[in-house]
Structure 1
Amino acid sequence: MWELLAHQVIPTLIIVIFSITLIVRALQQKQRVNQRIQWRKYRKMTIQLLSISALYLAFNSPWVFILFASQYGLPPNITRIYTFYGLYFRNYVIFLFPFVCFGSLSELRDEFKKKFLWCRRQHRVIAEMTMESNT
Structure 2
Amino acid sequence: MKKIEILSDINLNEVYAWLQHPEAGGIDLFIGCVRNHAHGKSVIKLEFEGYEPMALHQMDRLANKAIEQWPVKKLLMIHALGNKQIGDPVVVIGVACAHRDDAFKACKFLIDELKKSVPIWKKEYFTDHTVWVNAHP
TM-score (norm 2): 0.25
TM-score (norm 1): 0.25
Structure with greater proportional strand content: 2
Structure number with the bigger relative contact order (C-alpha 8 A, sep ≥ 6) is 2
